[in-house]
Amino acid sequence: MDLDPDDIFRDDEDDPDSELFQEKESTKELVVYLVDASPKMFNTTCPVEDQKDETHFHIAMSCISQSLKTQIINRSYDEVAICFFNTREKKNLQDLNGVFVFNVPEREQLDRPTARLIKEFDVIEASFLKEIGSQYGIVSGSRENSLYNALWVAQGLLRKGSAKTADKRILLFTNEEDPFGSITGVVKSDMTRTTLQRAKDARDLGISIELLPLSGPDEVFNVSQFYAELIGLEGEDLIEFMPSAGNKLEDMKHQLRKRMFKKRIVRRLKFTIVNGLSIELNSYALIRPTVPGAISWLDSVTNRPLKTERNFICSDTGALVEQSSRRFHPYKNTNIIFSTEELSEIKRVSTGHLCLLGFKPLSCLRDYYNLKPSTFLYPSDEDVVGSTCIFIALHRSMIRLNRFAVAFYGSSSRPQLVALVAQDEVVQSGGQIEPPGMHMIYLPYSDDIRHVEEVYSDKNARMPIATDDQIQKAAALMKRLDLKDFSVCQFANPALQRHYAVLQALALEEDDMPEINDETLPDEEGMARPRVVAAIEEFKTSVYGENYDEESELAAAGKPTEASKKRKALADNAAKECENYDWGELADSGKLKDLTVVELKYYLTAHNLPVSGKKEALISRILTHMGK
């Protein structure tokens, strides 16, 4: 018995009280894909989306491939291994029969996915029967148990990493509901028992086994036959298993490429409510723009990464200087010098925490009071017991009274006023859509608000205001164009998805660039529905009158602006001048460089190409355009 009191009162994870609010967060996921490669997987087919029959083996393979491609972007630090069982060849550390661990060079068996792994995995199917081979591993008359072996190998692979920090999983793909169906008697019961025991041992080690059953269109995979016990399913879970298993397979295939972030506290904040009564809050970044990963510079010859060095150079003398701690600002014809300490002192106006100033009705939070993404606040009792209670009380009262809190947030970069808006928990079909807590919205100062509308106000005329009829027509139009179930983040970022797709295509040396569906385009079909068109037409007529189209077209054609006239004249002139040169000849003889920039621009303007850049850029642009 250790009598060190420190030890006894140390805040440890197995404290039952703290488990409530200390969700255990595994830092990474270790997954073994265990694929049944028995002849049955190759023989049974089922129709997929486009009505073509595919073998179960193919379905499993494409599912894993998709999943890997998503994972390498979403959670590239997670580790995977791919393992087939019921194979002719064997390759595994334990040297067990009927189990083949697939891997590529420069990679451990359980490791982060690499482009090469994905690439070779994608082509393995074609040569699978030749190289790895498929055969039933469990046959009567032999004591071999390939399923047992497979679980053993998988467990061996997952020995890496502690169960506390890693989430370990085995994903088992099979279409055989009764692996020991081919044998009978004592051997069968014996094998069943040992296999189940092996699975239980794995589960006891913190490895979860998930089954992805494959079945034909007319048959149902009977989980209760054998696998329910293997994966530890009981009671209600068993009933719900089959429908959810189907979804799981679909989900794996259609996951969005989206970088995953670990839940992380951005800052611990002290929130002073009144008279020094302060509670403890944690802030989280729930919404932040995602950018396509950091750029690393490479040497284009060797493709080796480059080291970036930053140097400070004195403009006057050209001498290298140290990182200077002094800054200056020109003012009244002199340079006023500040030390960095002085600058941070200027910005330090409060304690660096949140300080409540008061409350306002939610209607006072105008639409334009926003500068950057909000920050989420959630209470914590870690240091100050009672914080959560006060927070919940405030949260409830604010929601009930329709108020938001105004507070001053003294961050070191930009101290500013913030609005704290209480958000109730929203749960939809079992999932938390909105967590309970408060959102901190950064309010602008008067210096940040612009009054554009005033600049454009017209003193001499009253602004026309829509008539009731026009408003009604607009309302009718709105009803027709209603997005009923719009959810804020239903659109994937088309540029980012394209970026990931391109990255994948380049990394895997795929031939054709994948097309990314831009979900953000308006629904043309819906807009063309007769009722919608009619509603739009009515609104248009009520505001613009009957003959608007012609009018506007006439206006557009009849009154070109000064600038557009000038542009047109320039283009005409360029086209004319352009004809005076034999561009093909000039390009072939390399004489383009003898022309002046003005001359080169004739060609570019005449062919609607950009005219920016240096002379070399212009020449190369011309050559590219000519296809030379």
Partner 1 sequence: MARNKEGLLLLLDVGPSMHYVLPEIEKVCSMLVEKKLIYSKYDEVGVVLFGTRETDNELTKEVGGYQHVMVLKNIKVVDGDIVDALQQLPRGTTDGDFLDAVIVGMDMLIKKYGETNKGKKRLCLITNAQCPIKDPYEGTKEDQVSTVAKQMTVYGMRMESIIVRGKSSQDVNKRVMDENDRLLDIFSKETSARLLHVENPISLFGALRTRNITPVTVFRGDLEISAKLRIKVRVYKKTSEEKFPTLKKYSDKAPSNDKSATHEVKVDYEYKSFDDPKKVVPLDQRIRGYRYGPQIVPISSAEWDAVKFKPEKGVKLLGFSDSSNILRHYYMKDVYIFLPEPGNTKAILAVSALARAMKEMNKVAILRCVWRQGQANVVIGVLTPNVSDRESIPDSFYFSVLPFAEDVREFQFPSFSNFPASWQPNEQQLEATDNLIRMLDLAPNEKEEVLLPDFTPNPILERFYRFLELKSKHPDAAVPPLDHTLKKITEPDGDLLLQYKPMIDSFCTSFELKPNPKQKKPRRLLPEKRFGSSDEETKGDVSARPANLIAKTSTVKIENIGDLTPVQDFEAILSRRDSPDWVIKAIKDMKNKIFDLVEDSHEGDNYPKALECLVALRKGCILEQEPKLFNDFLRHLCKFCLEKDLDSFCEYLSCRGITLISKEEAVDSEVTEAEAKSFLVKSEPKFD
Q: How far is the CB of 35 from partner 1 (least distance, A)?
A: 21
The secondary structure of residue 105, as a DSSP letter, is: S
**Residues 372-391 within binding reach of partner 1 (CB under 8 A):** 372-374, 376, 378, 381-390
Q: How far is the CB of 553 from partner 1 (least distance, A)?
A: 12
- Per-residue binding string, partner 1, 413-432, x by CB under 8 A, is -xxxx---x-x-x------x
Query: Taking the alpha carbons of 318, 323, 326, 329 in that order, is the dihedral positive or negative?
Result: positive
Q: State the pairing for strand pair 166-174/207-213.
A: parallel
Q: State the pairing for strand pair 431-434/426-428.
A: antiparallel
Q: Which residues contact 266 (CB under 8 A, 6 or more apart)?
A: 282, 283, 284, 285, 375
Q: How far is the CB of 135 from partner 1 (least distance, A)?
A: 33
The secondary structure of residue 465, as a DSSP letter, is: -
* β partners of residue 202: none
Q: How far is the CB of 171 from partner 1 (least distance, A)?
A: 19
- Which of these segments, 59-67, 131-139, 145-153, 402-410, binds partner 1 (CB under 8 A)? 402-410
Under rule CB under 8 A, residue 259 binds partner 1: yes
Q: Return d(Cα 445, Cα 585) in angstroms, integer.
A: 63
Nearer to partner 1, 474 or 575 (CB): 474
Of 296, 561, 580, 608, the one binding partner 1 (CB under 8 A) is 296
Of 126, 186, 274, 563, the one binding partner 1 (CB under 8 A) is 274
Q: Return d(Cα 417, Cα 440) in angstroms, integer.
A: 10
Give the closest residue to 394 by CA, choosing from 436, 363, 364, 443.
436
Q: How far is the CB of 252 from partner 1 (least distance, A)?
A: 18
What is the CA 211 to chain-centroid distance, rounded?
Answer: 26
Of 266, 321, 534, 597, the one binding partner 1 (CB under 8 A) is 321
Nearer to partner 1, 169 or 395 (CB): 395
Under rule CB under 8 A, residue 550 binds partner 1: no
Of 239, 287, 569, 617, the one binding partner 1 (CB under 8 A) is 287
**Residues 181-240 within binding reach of partner 1 (CB under 8 A):** none
Under rule CB under 8 A, residue 314 binds partner 1: yes
- Which of these segments, 43-51, 128-136, 148-156, 461-469, binds partner 1 (CB under 8 A)? 461-469
Under rule CB under 8 A, residue 504 binds partner 1: yes
What is the CA 469 to chain-centroid distance, rounded?
Answer: 45
129: buried, middle or exposed (CB in 10 Å: 19+, 13-18, 0-12)? middle
Under rule CB under 8 A, residue 581 binds partner 1: no
Q: How many other C-beta atoms are found inside a 10 Å radius of the C-beta of residue 476?
A: 16
**Residues 54-113 within binding reach of partner 1 (CB under 8 A):** 72-73, 76, 112-113
How far is the CA of 392 from the CAs of 16, 54, 365, 401, 491, in angstroms?
22, 54, 22, 14, 33
- Which of these segments, 56-64, 201-209, 244-252, 334-342, binds partner 1 (CB under 8 A)? 334-342
Q: Return d(Cα 264, Cα 167) in angstroms, integer.
A: 18
How far is the CA of 155 from the CAs of 95, 200, 335, 425, 554, in angstroms?
14, 11, 69, 39, 77
Q: Return d(Cα 622, Cα 580) in angstroms, integer.
A: 16
Under rule CB under 8 A, residue 6 binds partner 1: yes
Which residue bears the tokens 């002085």? 342
Under rule CB under 8 A, residue 302 binds partner 1: yes
Under rule CB under 8 A, residue 266 binds partner 1: no
Of 346, 557, 563, 598, the one binding partner 1 (CB under 8 A) is 346
Residue type, 99: V
Q: How far is the CB of 604 from partner 1 (least distance, A)?
A: 16
Under rule CB under 8 A, residue 324 binds partner 1: yes
**Residues 590-609 within binding reach of partner 1 (CB under 8 A):** none
Under rule CB under 8 A, residue 35 binds partner 1: no
Nearer to partner 1, 126 or 465 (CB): 465
Under rule CB under 8 A, residue 622 binds partner 1: no
Q: How far is the CB of 26 from partner 1 (least distance, A)?
A: 14
Q: How far is the CB of 584 from partner 1 (least distance, A)?
A: 23
How far is the CA of 530 from the CAs of 217, 526, 534, 537, in angstroms?
39, 9, 6, 10
